[in-house]
Structure 1
Amino acid sequence: MRKKLWYLLISFICCAFIVGCSDDETTGDDDNKENDESSSSDVNVNKEDYPIVDEEITLSLMAPGTGLAEWEDMPTLQQYSEKTNIYFEYDTPPLSDFQTKLNLAFASGDIADIIFGAGTGDLTPGMEVDYGQQGILQPLEDLIDEYAPNFKALMEENPEIKRSITTTDGHIYALPAINQHPTAAWPAGPMWYNGTWLDALGVEELPKTTEELYELLVRFKTEDPNGNGEADEIPLTDVQMNSTRRWFLAAFGMKEWGMEEVNGEARYAPMTENYKEYLTYMNKLYEEELLDPETFSQADEQKKAKGQEDRLGLFPDWFSFFTTGETEGEAINNPMYHPLTSDVSPEIVLPGNPGISRGAFAITNNNQHPEASMRWIDYLYSQEGRDYFDQGPEGYLWEEGEDGQREFLEVPEEYESSEDYRGSLTPAYGITTPMLVDVVENAPRSDFDLFIEKETQEKVDPYAETAFPLVYLSDEEQDTINTIEVDLESYVEQMEAKFITGVEPLSKWDEYIQTIENMNIEQYIQIHQDAYDRWEDS
């Protein structure tokens, strides 16, 4: 069951990430009721304790659904409604249809009182600015100050949160998911070494430089580490470079495959000399078949099949056993890749996830109870609320043991896994849930959990830094970026594959740079510089 529970963390963190809630509500206080209650639309809102409102209210809520259960049937939401006196009419179109449905709702004006779990893919920063300035999304900063003590405390603890969710007009229109889990700093799924191969070759220390990695990959290819007598080993693999790219860019001094901040300056990494060195190195690995020749043509399923055949030496995945098919216990023998240095980057550089996923919770102008809504969501930003929404109420997925520790219960037969069951109990599954993500208090932690935390503390946490802060653009800036970005990113992606595979020689680097310059890259960089300066000054 512990193995299954790890799938929860994937839903949260690749994506992206989640958040918690607790307390308060109101618009107007009078002196005698300042610490007790306030009123909104003739409904008293209790600023402490429960219920939140004395008289039952019903709000509409729109969120992406995963299809595992109807939200009105989820025990977590049912019991929380009973506790708060706040009930909901749920509109939960499938994840695949959610953005279309959300856009139609905005366009028609028939938008729900609350938008929950959208994330920046569906409720984009541009939409926050646009609909906020139109008055369709309500500003939240005063509500936060008055009715969200848990979220307010998080902002005070980490000022980057407020800077990252405050738009160009100075308002906050959506709350984020905040990730403080031990793996929060991961920029993406790590790379993992095949521990059995390392043992077979007598490798006692992992590579720390690009040259040391090259030498190890050569050994993977030539010394039959899987012991089957065949030259079938694949030293390094990926799918379209989508998972390994960040780690290799970092080895050459870059934090992002796009805009990054370096000493307060915005730069476009794919046109730097550092990027040329990255392409040169990866082309060398490809030409010598140290990088899987099928990297740019295979699907993830093919990569995993190779892992289960014990043919991979270094590979990306959220956890290594997702690729190898091993047990968690066996996967502890597969060490996490250590960040590399190179001749052009002698100090370790590593991108880190800021742990903030925007667009997770918004209150619209149709909502007649914004104070109650803010207090309702604030619970998810507390430790108690986070734990409650993460694993549901006691008696379903878990129960408290005699020692006060949580014990996981058997999963009903109709569910294939504990994660499927969990997704039927709580909405905090597979979406950008507005809550605080962290380790659940008193939940059992396996040896594998502790292994992951130790590897992260040694190989990610000391070096990880945000590549570029979460900024907002003005409408005009966003329009310009949209005009430039589609063709720019498409061209850079195509040329990366061509340079690495040798379809285009790196002798054409100057032509590549000239093409990028002709795409208004200077304006593109300047807009990001201006946005960074605003963020820095906020």
Structure 2
Amino acid sequence: MKGYKWLLSAAAALIVGSTLALYYNQQSKHSAARPEDPPLLLSEGLPILNKPVELTFLTGKSATSGSNWDEILLWKHYAEMTNMKVHFRLVPFESMGEERKLALATGSYPDGFYAARLTAAELMKYGKEGVFLRLNDWIPRYAPNFQKLLERYPELRQSLTMPDGGIYSIPSFYDPEFLSMLIGTPLWLNGTWLEALRLPEPQTTDELYAYMKAVKERDPNGNGIADEIPFGSLGISMFIHQLKGAWGLGNRGLAHPLVDVDESTGQLRFIPVDAKYKEVLEYVHKLYAEGLIEKDIFTIGSSEFYVKGAQNVYGSMVTPSPYTQMKQTGYIGAPALQGPHGDRLYSHVKAPLVHIGAFAITNKNKYPEATLRWIDYFFSEEGSKLFFMGVKGVSYEEAADGTLQYTERIRNHKNGLTIEQALTPYVTWLGGSYPGVVRLPLFQGSESYPASIEAARKVKPYAVKEIWPPFPYSPGSLGTEIASYASQMQAKFVTGEVPFADWDKYVGNMRMIGLDKYMSMYEQAYGAYLKSKQSE
């Protein structure tokens, strides 16, 4: 009896087991036949991802751009297009250096750095450590638009490649033929006042001085009040960069503001200790001492400068555009000035590679391939149009012949805002440093306006012929100390706080800081640059 019951139990178990096995087998076949979930990263086009994700970028902000980029039309629209919503942690450019260093040193960095002005030294250090992702193998696959730019300009790839062979950043790049963009901030003269004073355009540094003196003394605005300011800008360095070519200095462009080549010897030259640079500072000191330069030029902020400019008090200025920033017409670009020794060089020209570290992806980013595709879109014609112009029908219009222009609400704002002020709800390129490529006709900023194009045309015959790109090397803290001391003493010589009788002492101090070592490092970087050019 017990054996019979055991047989029944065994039979029942076998039936149940067979049934379960058949069920799971059928389920397994059904599961295998079911299609897998689609990949998060879509193969091409837009959207980039098949479901929404969010990222955070540490971002540099100019005083002229909006205060909350999450609400800017460009980024809201692009988030819908891509399924990638970016939160921009905005930091003023004036504070970005310290904020960037702190984030990297403490490990509190986000998914990416946008318009953050990363230096070659930071890219080298944190790229090697794996904080910034190496993009070499990813660019051909995930950044085809940027890849085309690298193929067209081999020197761009060379400049982006760090000594370890890695490319860790996406840059800000200007079309080499877009000279007004490479100039960026011309020296503008008040053409209306030139006519009122019956003076020709200054062609020499002496004639510029005479014009400034006439502005101060002869009441060109005719209001009977001595309220004219012969020259103003945001800082004195911008003016000195405009002038030094009249002494033959800066002959390799603005990417190397401290070093160029002494054409008489063929050797590298440290500009801030050169005898001709002393003459430049003596000239500017003379202007400052005679009240021909904005008295607050070392401390004036952008808002105050723009407000003053809008009151039509400046006889000359260095700024992107008196019209787009201050709604002032009548200003003309100054010609390349001839200096006291016959030099007539226009050296205020940037390298096309303007910011080597405009964008970088960090190892905290969960979607690095998608992020590279996200930034690559802005290197396409369609993406450039969105970035610079905004959304069609809202911030810009396109004529049948393809001509673009901002809408009437921006060009003639009902509250009298300048074009740049009216653009802030729509785009974020204002103030520069963004990753992307800048070219006409997609870029409609101040550098594309007729007055800026004409200013560039005027100086083109005298513009720097050989423009050095940034060298991917790191002078470290020594480089920072050298540049800082040069800047401090520049201001002190101009104001008269330090007399020019102390020039030799200043040069000696520069050597004590380590100028010879600094120049030795520069020689090595220059040698590597020449070697890379020979291999093109």
**Offset at residue 139 of structure 1 (A):** 0.9
Question: Contact between 1:260 and 1:467, CA under 8 Å: does it hold in 2?
Answer: no
SS in 2 for 1:244: helix
User: What fraction of aligned residue pairs are identical, expressed as a percent?
Assistant: 28
Output the CA distance in 1 between the equivalents of 2:324 and 2:459. Answer: 20
Structure 2 residue 152 is matched with structure 1 residue 153: no
**Offset at residue 61 of structure 1 (A):** 3.4
TM-score computed with the length of structure 2 as normaliser:
0.75
> What is the match of residue 438 of structure 2?
437
Residue correspondence of structure 1 range 17-56 to structure 2 within 5 A:
45-46=42-43, 48-52=44-48, 55-56=50-51
> What is the match of residue 314 of structure 1?
316
> What is the match of residue 275 of structure 1?
277
> What is the match of residue 390 of structure 2?
392
**Offset at residue 387 of structure 1 (A):** 0.5
**Offset at residue 203 of structure 1 (A):** 2.6
Of stretches 259-268 and 383-392 in structure 1, the one that deviates more from structure 2 is 259-268
The structure that has the greater radius of gyration is 2
Q: Aligned letter for 1:361? A: F
Output the CA distance in 1 between the equivalents of 2:523 and 2:157. Answer: 19
Residues paired across the two proteins, number = 478
Output the CA distance in 2 between the equivalents of 1:298 and 1:99. Answer: 20
TM-aligned CA distance change 1:145 to 1:334, over 3 Å: same
Q: Deviations over 1:266-298 (max 9, x none)?
A: 322111011122123233334544445565576
Output the CA distance in 2 between the equivalents of 1:89 and 1:341. Answer: 49
TM-aligned CA distance change 1:462 to 1:45, over 3 Å: farther
Structure 2 residue 132 is matched with structure 1 residue 132: no
**Offset at residue 174 of structure 1 (A):** 0.7
Residue correspondence of structure 1 range 389-538 to structure 2 within 5 A:
389-401=387-399, 404-406=402-404, 408=407, 410=409, 419=420, 422-426=423-427, 428-430=429-431, 432-441=433-442, 449-460=449-460, 463-464=463-464, 469-474=469-474, 477-482=475-480, 484-485=481-482, 489-490=484-485, 492-538=486-532
TM-aligned CA distance change 1:378 to 1:194, over 3 Å: same
> What is the match of residue 337 of structure 1?
334
**Offset at residue 158 of structure 1 (A):** 2.4
Structure 1 unaligned segments of length 5 or more: list them: 1-40
Q: Aligned letter for 1:254? A: L
**Offset at residue 498 of structure 1 (A):** 3.9
Q: Aligned letter for 1:535? A: Y
Output the CA distance in 2 between the equivalents of 1:198 and 1:167. Answer: 49
Output the CA distance in 2 between the equivalents of 1:94 and 1:239. Answer: 19
Residue correspondence of structure 1 range 210-359 to structure 2 within 5 A:
210-228=205-223, 233-238=228-233, 240-255=235-250, 259-262=258-261, 265-291=267-293, 295=297, 311-321=313-323, 327-328=327-328, 331=329, 333-355=330-352, 356-359=354-357
Output the CA distance in 1 between the equivalents of 2:127 and 2:448. Answer: 44
Question: Contact between 1:304 and 1:322, CA under 8 Å: does it hold in 2?
Answer: no
**Offset at residue 523 of structure 1 (A):** 0.8
> What is the match of residue 197 of structure 1?
193
Question: Contact between 1:51 and 1:83, CA under 8 Å: does it hold in 2?
Answer: yes
Question: Contact between 2:245 and 2:347, CA under 8 Å: does it hold in 1?
Answer: yes
TM-aligned CA distance change 1:415 to 1:393, over 3 Å: farther
Output the CA distance in 1 between the equivalents of 2:143 and 2:525. Answer: 28
**Offset at residue 417 of structure 1 (A):** 7.0
Output the CA distance in 2 between the equivalents of 1:232 and 1:70. Answer: 37
Q: Aligned letter for 1:146? A: R
Structure 2 unaligned segments of length 5 or more: list them: 1-37
> What is the match of residue 165 of structure 2?
170
TM-aligned CA distance change 1:494 to 1:399, over 3 Å: closer
**Offset at residue 438 of structure 1 (A):** 2.9
Question: Contact between 1:176 and 1:434, CA under 8 Å: does it hold in 2?
Answer: yes
Q: Aligned letter for 2:375? A: I
> Which protein has the bigger helix share?
2
**Offset at residue 73 of structure 1 (A):** 5.2
Question: Contact between 1:52 and 1:372, CA under 8 Å: does it hold in 2?
Answer: yes
TM-aligned CA distance change 1:496 to 1:451, over 3 Å: closer
TM-score computed with the length of structure 1 as normaliser:
0.75
**Offset at residue 80 of structure 1 (A):** 3.7
SS in 2 for 1:518: helix
Output the CA distance in 2 between the equivalents of 1:105 and 1:287. Answer: 43
TM-aligned CA distance change 1:311 to 1:425, over 3 Å: closer
**Offset at residue 237 of structure 1 (A):** 4.2
Of stretches 208-217 and 87-96 in structure 1, the one that deviates more from structure 2 is 87-96
Residue correspondence of structure 1 range 106-121 to structure 2 within 5 A:
106=104, 109=107, 111-113=109-111, 115-120=112-117
> What is the match of residue 19 of structure 1?
none
**Offset at residue 305 of structure 1 (A):** 6.5
**Offset at residue 245 of structure 1 (A):** 1.3
Q: Deviations over 1:349-408 (max 9, x none)?
A: 413111321222222234454333323321110111111122222232134456654461
Output the CA distance in 2 between the equivalents of 1:131 and 1:389. Answer: 29
Output the CA distance in 2 between the equivalents of 1:444 and 1:238. Answer: 23
Output the CA distance in 2 between the equivalents of 1:272 and 1:461. Answer: 25
Please provide the CA RMSD for this pair: 3.9
**Offset at residue 133 of structure 1 (A):** 0.6
SS in 2 for 1:212: helix
Output the CA distance in 1 between the equivalents of 2:89 and 2:196. Answer: 51
Output the CA distance in 1 between the equivalents of 2:360 and 2:88. Answer: 15
Of stretches 465-474 and 381-390 in structure 1, the one that deviates more from structure 2 is 465-474
TM-aligned CA distance change 1:217 to 1:69, over 3 Å: closer
> What is the match of residue 11 of structure 1?
none
Output the CA distance in 2 between the equivalents of 1:427 and 1:234. Answer: 32
**Offset at residue 93 of structure 1 (A):** 4.5
SS in 2 for 1:361: strand
SS in 1 for 2:278: helix
Q: Deviations over 1:462-492 (max 9, x none)?
A: 5046775312225xx424434x43xx633x3
Q: Aligned letter for 1:338? A: P
**Offset at residue 176 of structure 1 (A):** 0.7
> What is the match of residue 380 of structure 2?
382
